[in-house]
Amino acid sequence: MIGVEAVGYVETSAELAAGVATGLAAVAVGGTLTWAALSAGSQMFGRTLVAPKRPDEICLTYDDGPNPAVTPLLLEALARAEVRATFFLIGGFVRQCPEMVREIRAAGHLVGNHTMTHPWLAWQTERRIREEIAGASAAIEDVLGERVRYFRAPHGARRPVVLRVVREMGMVPVQWNAMGYDWRPVGAAEIAGSVEKGVARNRRAGLGSNILLHDGGHTGLGAARMETVRATQMLVERCAGARFVGVDAWG
């Protein structure tokens, strides 16, 4: 009896160990896929434009606009500094503020697609993904009369089908490699400091800096982003030796 029980114990332990190993492998795979979907620099699901090996170049990008409470003031700050930027706009807000979209483009800035309603695309059906991206492009193109060439996924979240749909629509998917965390309730100095750390890191790696900031908020018009405007003023002063470009200079 003792021998039979011992054999049964060994078999059970082996099964348990195999189950644990399988579970750990599943966790590891799940973690890798989550990283691939959400990490700004990941290229696992397909190529995205981040930044080339041009450490003296900086691209300021602003998501979630247009925002009538802040975007005009940001445009004034950029004009004073003679800096060109890239604005990834939400289609629903474009429909509500078409004249502001024209002002962004008339100031020489690049306008990109940030979906119609700002969902987490990595978790959506292909039909919803197409509707969101096509809707935002249509809204922008109706206002500007020109094709939209660049796309940024809300939260940077994507999976292979997202990138495939973007390319089928003739656009380049864009991520980032520095950010100001300005969706948090932080001041301009902290926003600028976070960006500067990212720029310094990128320069050490020999890369340009694709900076993520926000002139709006995806939950509605009127988001308080004046600290981002002030941080922008700080950044263009502190990075006066850099060349500021739109993402269209990179691909």
Question: What is the 3-state composition of the chain as percent helix, strand, coil, each rounded to the nearest 5?
Answer: 50, 15, 35
- 214 belongs to the catalytic site: yes
Give, in order, the Cα–Cα distances in Å from 210 to each of 34, 85, 150, 198. Answer: 22, 10, 14, 9
Q: Give yes or no for a cis peptide into 154 (omega within 30° of 0).
A: no
163, 179 in Cβ contact below 8 A? no
Question: Residue 198 and residue 175: Cα distance in Å, rounded?
Answer: 14
Catalytic residue, candidates 114, 214, 215, 218: 214
Closest CA to 91 of 155, 124, 138, 125: 138
Question: Residue 239 and residue 72: Cα distance in Å, rounded?
Answer: 22
Question: Residue 163 and residue 171: Cα distance in Å, rounded?
Answer: 9
Catalytic residue, candidates 63, 64, 182, 215: 63
Residue type for position 78: L
- 142 belongs to the catalytic site: no
Catalytic residues: 63, 214
